[in-house]
């Protein structure tokens, strides 16, 4: 997860200087963690749970990591065989770091884009992505408008049976998700972080 203009949340004390990919062809490969406000890489135990939910083999899937940061989520998907992974990040330093990691891993299925995650999703409306990863910056106020906009844009970019991964400072309720045309598939909590796997709400 990533830096966003206006975000004041600081990294946790003793934040890791690197994280590791935990599965697939690049298992144990290190990903550097820059000292950036709001940068919170998804912990290994949460990624392990997520990819148990998604499946260990993501062959043929098209994914987008909308607030890429270290790239831990998107690169984990690529390591497990995803056909295409787009890493979107605003911070130019993190974009450079992601590009260097892509080159080091020879990650041909990965594309790095500098830009706004919500805008990138809106540009892909109707393109039928298989998985969208959303781990926006929390911010001191929870950044609710950003979460709302990201979920709405992700829904429009998703295929009918696609999935959205959402990491947030609180659990989202069924009613909140239903108003966005989404429903909860799986949910977990790790420390102060709530994580969700969401599906599109079936049309009536």
Phi, psi of 3 (to 5 degrees): -90, 145
Whether residue 6 has pLDDT greater than 60: no
Residue 167 has what pLDDT?
94
Residue 6 lies in a domain: no
Residue 34 lies in a domain: yes
Residue 4 lies in a domain: no
Residue 181 has what pLDDT?
96
Residue 48, C-beta contacts closer than 8 angstroms, at least 6 positions apart: 22, 23
| Total domain count, the chain | 1
Residue 76 lies in a domain: yes
Residue 3 lies in a domain: no
Q: Give pLDDT tens digits for 131-152.
A: 999 998 876 566 788 999 999 9
Q: Mean pLDDT across the chain, nearest whole number? A: 89
Provide the terminal-to-terminal Cα distance of the chain, rounded to the nearest Å: 35
**Mean of pLDDT values over 120-127:** 96
Residue 9 lies in a domain: no
Residue 140 has what pLDDT?
59
Whether residue 3 has pLDDT greater than 70: no
Residue 100 lies in a domain: yes
CB-count exposure of residue 5 (10 Å: 0-12, 13-18, 19+): exposed
Whether residue 173 has pLDDT greater than 90: yes
pTM, full prediction: 0.88
**Mean of pLDDT values over 16-45:** 84
Residue 167 lies in a domain: yes
Q: What is the CATH number of the domain that holds 51?
A: 3.40.50.150
- For CA atoms 107, 50, 18, 10, give the dihedral sign: positive
Domain that holds residue 58: 18-200
Q: How confident is the model at residue 91 (pLDDT cuts 50, 70, 90)?
A: very high
């Amino acid at each position: 997860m990533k830096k966003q203009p206006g975000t004041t949340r600081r990294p946790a004390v003793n934040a890791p200087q690197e994280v590791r990919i935990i599965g697939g062809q690049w298992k144990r490969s290190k990903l550097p963690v820059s000292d950036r406000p709001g940068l919170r890489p998804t912990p290994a135990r949460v990624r392990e749970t997520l990819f148990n939910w998604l499946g260990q083999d993501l062959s043929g899937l098209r994914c987008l990591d909308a607030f890429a940061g270290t790239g831990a989520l998107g690169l984990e998907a690529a390591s497990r065989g995803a056909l295409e992974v787009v890493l979107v990040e605003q911070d130019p330093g993190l974009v450079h770091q992601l590009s260097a990691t892509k080159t080091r891993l020879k990650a041909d299925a990965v594309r790095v884009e500098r830009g706004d995650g919500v805008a990138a999703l809106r540009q892909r409306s109707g393109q039928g992505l298989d998985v969208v990863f959303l781990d926006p910056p929390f911010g001191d106020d929870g950044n609710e408008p950003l979460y709302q906009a990201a979920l709405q844009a992700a829904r429009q970019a998703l295929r009918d049976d696609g999935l959205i991964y959402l990491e947030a400072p609180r659990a989202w309720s069924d009613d909140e998700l239903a108003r966005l045309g989404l429903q909860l598939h799986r949910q977990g909590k790790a420390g102060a972080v709530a994580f969700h796997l969401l599906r599109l709400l079936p049309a009536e």
